[in-house]
């Protein structure tokens, strides 16, 4: 495809290595201390000129992706166009590899990807700060999809500070069906009703382990405050977590709001072994392996 015909942007999935959740705020959102880590598992969004806004999607889970204006890629294109007084006359094609509704920010990745692709296609040169503001308007996880690597997200997760991360290896077990992020937060509220939920704070020990690149150190510090709520809604995920640990994973946790589960492993060889064991266990639909960190949304050479 020539540069004049289209722009393709590659965007990573994420795993939360720490997800500390505060009590519900009056606006319904929760304050978070959210340590995002981008992993080398990518969607690609290609923007080409068209008469109107059109979304298409390919990939194993593409039938679960909405192709109307509710798609985050469509919303991103419409927001950017409106800011510049343009019509969003663009065809966005999503090559989907990130599990859908899996707690790995796949929709957010497509939103960030579409924003960058349209910005390049339309020659707008929107400043980075403005792109980040549009991302935050699209959703709490979208700014991180743009920047990638590793970052601490505060507020509802959209206020990002980069943090250091060594190289790690992961296996992801994709569950049957998705979990709605708002439903998991509602379950969190139900489970913590009447309790004193502490203000969320990033763990210094977790940040040090992440920077060190030592998988044994990181394994002891991973935490997800939404895990109990995800397990309450999907109790069968406990068997997936156990299968990965039995197969030699150093640590296992629910990825974000789930139902994808994430396994930290020592190296690439161990990743393949744990992935094979998880698939053989019958406790998940499929697996993916990926290293971290990974770069944020990137325009691919034409």
- What residues are labeled active site? 14, 141
In whole angstroms, give the CA distance from residue 293 to residue 162: 12
Q: Pick between residue 105 and residue 297 the one whose CB is nearest to ligand ATP.
A: 105
Shorter beta-carbon distance to ligand ATP: residue 179 or 247 = 179
The least distance separating ligand ATP from the CB of residue 53, rounded to whole angstroms, comes to 13
Give me the numbers of helices (H) and strands (E) for the chain, helices first please.
10, 12
What is the C-alpha separation between 35 and 207, in angstroms, rounded?
8
C-beta nearest to ligand ATP: residue: 107
Sign of the alpha-carbon torsion through 32, 235, 100, 14: positive
- CB closer to ligand ATP, 70 vs 232: 70
Q: For residues 104 and 210, which CB has a smaller minimum distance to ligand ATP in the complex?
A: 104
Q: How far is the CB of 138 from ligand ATP (least distance, A)?
A: 10
Rounded to a whole number of angstroms, the minimum distance from the CB of residue 45 to ligand ATP is 8
Q: Smallest distance from the beta carbon of 100 to ligand ATP, in angstroms? A: 5
SS3 annotation, 110-159 = HHHHHHHHHHHHCCCCCCHHHHHHHHHHHCCCHHHHHHECEEEEECCCCE
Give the separation between CA 232 and CA 89, rounded to whole angstroms.
44
CB proximity list for 256: less than 8 A, separation 6 or greater: 14, 15, 16, 19, 103, 104, 105, 181, 224, 226
DSSP letter (8 states) at residue 273: H
Closest contact distance (angstroms) between CB of 20 and ligand ATP is 16
Residues 23, 197: Cα–Cα separation, whole Å: 6
Q: Pick between residue 170 and residue 277 the one whose CB is nearest to ligand ATP.
A: 170
From the list 74, 137, 152, the residue with the least C-alpha distance to 111 is 74
Closest by CA position to 262, among listed 45, 143, 103, 134: 103
Enumerate binding residues for ligand ATP (CB under 6 A).
Answer: 65-66, 70-73, 94, 100-108, 110, 141, 178, 181, 256-257
% helix, strand, coil for the chain, step of 5: 35, 30, 35
- 142 vs 277 by CB, closer to ligand ATP: 142
């Amino acid at each position: 495809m020539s540069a004049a015909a289209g722009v393709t942007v590659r965007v990573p999935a994420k795993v939360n290595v720490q997800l500390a959740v505060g009590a519900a705020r009056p606006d319904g959102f929760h304050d978070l201390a959210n340590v995002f880590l981008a992993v080398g598992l990518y969607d690609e969004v290609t923007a080409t000129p068209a008469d109107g806004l059109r979304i298409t999607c390919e990939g194993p889970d593409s039938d679960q992706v909405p192709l109307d204006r509710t798609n985050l890629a469509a919303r991103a294109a419409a927001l950017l166009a409106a800011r510049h007084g343009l019509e969003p006359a663009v065809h966005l094609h999503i090559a989907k590899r990130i599990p859908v509704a899996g707690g790995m920010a796949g929709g957010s990745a497509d939103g960030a990807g579409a924003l960058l692709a349209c910005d390049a296609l339309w020659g707008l040169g929107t400043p980075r700060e403005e792109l980040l503001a549009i991302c935050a308007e699209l959703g709490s996880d979208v700014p991180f999809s743009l920047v990638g690597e590793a970052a601490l997200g505060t507020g509802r997760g959209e206020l990002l500070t980069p943090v250091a991360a060594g190289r790690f290896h992961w296996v992801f077990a994709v569950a049957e069906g998705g979990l709605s992020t708002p439903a998991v937060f509602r379950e969190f509220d139900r489970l913590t009703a009447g309790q004193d939920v502490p203000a969320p704070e990033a763990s210094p020990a977790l940040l040090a382990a992440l920077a060190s690149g030592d998988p044994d150190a990181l394994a002891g510090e991973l935490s997800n405050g939404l895990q109990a709520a995800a397990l309450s809604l999907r109790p069968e995920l406990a068997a997936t977590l156990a299968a990965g640990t039995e197969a030699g994973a150093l640590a296992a946790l629910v990825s974000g709001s789930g139902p994808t589960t994430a396994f930290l492993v020592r190296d690439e060889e161990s990743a393949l072994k744990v992935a094979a064991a998880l698939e053989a266990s019958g406790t998940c639909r499929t697996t993916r392996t990926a290293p971290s960190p990974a770069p944020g949304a990137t325009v691919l050479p034409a």
